Amino acid sequence: MLINLSDVFNTSGKVLQNTVTPELKVYDGGFGEFELLSAENMELKFENIEKGKARISGSVKLKFKGECDRCLKDTDIDLDINIDRVCASPEYVSEDEDETEDLHEFMEGYSIDTELLLHDEITVNWPVKILCREDCKGLCPVCGHDLNEGDCGCDTFVPDPRMAAIFDKLESTKEV
């Protein structure tokens, strides 16, 4: 959805509030696709901070369908996103070229693309690890049994590779 901010950019102290319903159905951040299960409306506030610049603030709660990185069970990914960004009108130019590019990132002329803003905020707030619970034990590396359901009894001892030469020497000196 595009929201025109020309009044906000050109009027000192101007504030615009808007409620946006996310149109996103699936999030693809480059590491898999995640179906959106539920989303609250985005409450956005646009506030003039200087000629040609506006602060964007707001919040949104989203729930995605995902898979636990340790045990591979289906789990919900809850994101509680707080937005605090600055954008600028097309003619605004900063002394810092990178800052100017960042300020125009979500803009199409004098309008802001809320879906592009939401996608970027999801990417920034996405968890590093998706877990079904904090103490998830994952899967046995030998047999693949879910360790949350109990121990499988497999020998999971992995010798320290730095000690391999010593173990080899001990094995070669053993009598049969």
| Banded pLDDT at 103 (limits 50, 70, 90) | confident
Does pLDDT of 158 surpass 90? Answer: no
Per-residue pLDDT at 176: 58
Higher pLDDT, 47 or 169: 47
Per-residue pLDDT at 22: 93
User: Do residues 107 and 96 make contact, with C-beta atoms less than 8 angstroms apart?
Assistant: no
Of all residues in the chain, the percent with pLDDT exceeding 90 is: 69
Task: Quote the DSSP letter at residue 128.
Answer: S
Of all residues in the chain, the percent with pLDDT exceeding 70 is: 99
User: Do residues 156 and 144 make contact, with C-beta atoms less than 8 angstroms apart?
Assistant: no
User: Do residues 81 and 59 make contact, with C-beta atoms less than 8 angstroms apart?
Assistant: yes
**The two three-digit tokens of residue 107, written as one number:** 């803009």
Per-residue pLDDT at 70: 94
Task: Quote the DSSP letter at residue 156.
Answer: -
Average pLDDT over all residues of the chain = 91
Q: What is the DSSP string of 129-149?
A: S--SSTT---B-TTT--BGGG
Phi, psi (degrees; rounded to nearest 5) at 45: -130, 125
pLDDT tens digits for 123-151?
Answer: 999 999 999 999 999 999 889 999 999 99
H or E segment to which residue 117 belongs = helix 114-125
C-alpha to C-alpha distance for 60 and 40, rounded to whole angstroms: 6
Task: Quote the DSSP letter at residue 166.
Answer: H
44: Cβ–Cβ under 8 A, 6 or more apart, which residues? 3, 17, 18, 19, 20, 56, 57, 58, 83, 114
pTM: 0.80
Phi, psi (degrees; rounded to nearest 5) at 53: -125, 145
pLDDT tens digits for 29-79?
Answer: 888 899 999 999 999 999 999 999 999 999 999 999 999 999 999 999 999
Per-residue pLDDT at 171: 83
